[in-house]
Amino acid sequence: MEKIIKNNTLYFDGCDTVELAKRYGTPLYVMSETAIVEKCKEVRDTFLNKYERTRAAYAAKAFLTLSMCKIIEREGLCLDVVSGGELYTAIKANFPAEKIEFNGNNKSQGEIELAVDYQIGRIIVDGLDELKLIESICEEKGKTINILYRITPGVKSDSHDYIVTGKKDSKFGIPLDDEVIYPAIEQAIKSPYVNFMGFHFHVGSQLHNNESHLKALDIALKLIRETKEKYNYVTPELNIGGGFGVNYTEEDSKKPYAYFLDPMMEKINNFSKEINITRPEVVIEPGRSIVAEAGLTLYTVGTIKDIKGIRKYVSVDGGMTDNIRPALYQAKYEGLAANKANDTKTDVVTICGKCCESGDILIRDAKVTELKRGDIFAVFTTGAYGYTMASNYNKNPLPATVLVKEGKSELIVKRQSYDHMIENEIIPESLSL
């Protein structure tokens, strides 16, 4: 484990977290390179090396920086981006173009142009109108591009409603109504500008149960069969998305990748034999599961309010600006006083942020040791959807991020300055006093 307690102090990947807080300031995101590398290795050992013709595209939206692109490239994964900004970050990190895939329900002309110019590996297309946009861009540039269709399999996964994406009432993907999906497939097969590689689905996030993946897979396989029968066209690829859950608290029961992937691969293999096709190349898109547990956030404790008989609020110097997930979907976290990590936990408190919102709470009813102003508080499992969802609400600067590995730490994102926050702001002539 990357987290250990030594001399009553929390260590993360060999680094004294209290020292990190002192050296880099708080709030501070800390990412363990060892933990990220371990997860990538699990993906290789239990999927990429176990099954031929497979790829894993790390979903950049979970945590993306230039350095993260380098780790992902070195560890042999591809990269799944969902915006021009993420794509730009990958390009700036010299990420191999053919290993980039581009998802998203509303890609702009400019974003698609960037993708076509860089000749990325795949665009995951969300509908026929997007296909037409891609075709016109490719025609103009004299280029072609590989595409898949993201389908809406119409299955409801067992997770918070905001992170369920595969049900029919969804802004993502192409609904499987005959009059929608078939013309789209036909157009993609006929198009001289795109190579139609196949289908993609992504059923939701933070899942501990493989049921919705398996149901969605059945629907995708049916579509592959129909495409073969109707158009005599065998789609060479199948993308089964991400969504593999992690442990935030003891209520979670994380499963290994194999729990999701082995039964899916068996289904795909059997199906391919049955309809006598080469098994499609299978792609997964893990995001959260690669980085969530590899991250923690360090805060400094400030004001403490003990409202007698009601609740004790312990405020820290960050909050919903660096971790929106508790406010957005009641996400639960655990934490610890990093500078007195072994002290008996005699208190129950609410760890809250410093933003002007009552919902700015990081942990409700946390069992902690008695906290004092100046203590360093660590919130665990913040590596996914923390930094990438961070905001400047209340003009709080974005925290710094350090990468730690076996006792060494390196800054990979500088703390944002006040000047940086107002850099794009302009006072027009009419307002100069």
Ligand X SMILES: *Cc1c(COP(=O)(O)O)cnc(C)c1O
Interface with ligand X: number of residues (CB under 6 A): 16
- Closest by CA to 256, choosing from 39, 75, 77, 76, is 39
Q: Is 157 in the site for ligand X (CB under 6 A)?
A: no
Which position among 39, 99, 122, 202 is part of the footprint of ligand X (CB under 6 A)?
A: 202
Q: Is 280 in the site for ligand X (CB under 6 A)?
A: no
Q: How far is the CB of 202 from ligand X (least distance, A)?
A: 4
Q: Is 289 in the site for ligand X (CB under 6 A)?
A: yes
Is the preceding omega at residue 27 within 30 degrees of 0, hence cis? yes
Which position among 146, 157, 205, 297 is part of the footprint of ligand X (CB under 6 A)?
A: 205
Is 138 catalytic? The answer is no
Four-CA torsion 406, 412, 418, 422, nearest 10 degrees: -160
Using CB under 6 A, which residues numbered 346 to 365 contact ligand X? Answer: none
| Residue for token pair 């060494």 | 408
CA distance 418 to 395: 8
- Which tokens sit at 355? 């933003």
Closest to ligand X by CB, 115 or 352: 115
- Closest by CA to 254, choosing from 310, 307, 206, 313, is 206
Q: How far is the CB of 62 from ligand X (least distance, A)?
A: 5
Question: Please, which contacts does 272-281 make with residues 24 or more away whose CB atoms are closer than 8 Å?
Answer: 275/224, 275/225, 275/228, 277/224, 277/228, 277/234, 278/234, 278/236, 279/53, 280/198, 280/224, 280/235, 280/236, 280/237, 280/238, 281/53, 281/54, 281/55, 281/236, 281/237, 281/238
Q: Which candidate in 40, 138, 352, 356 is catalytic?
A: 356
Closest to ligand X by CB, 20 or 131: 131
- Which tokens sit at 273? 């034999």
Using CB under 6 A, which residues numbered 103 to 122 contact ligand X? Answer: 103
| Contacts with ligand X, 43-72, as mask; x by CB under 6 A | ----------------x-xx----------
- Closest by CA to 142, choosing from 176, 178, 192, 105, is 192
Which position among 102, 193, 244, 257 is part of the footprint of ligand X (CB under 6 A)?
A: 244
Closest to ligand X by CB, 243 or 353: 243
Q: How far is the CB of 258 from ligand X (least distance, A)?
A: 16
Which position among 127, 198, 243, 295 is part of the footprint of ligand X (CB under 6 A)?
A: 243
What are the residues binding ligand X (CB under 6 A)? Answer: 59, 61-62, 80, 103, 202, 205, 241-244, 285-289
Q: Give me the active site residues, please.
A: 356
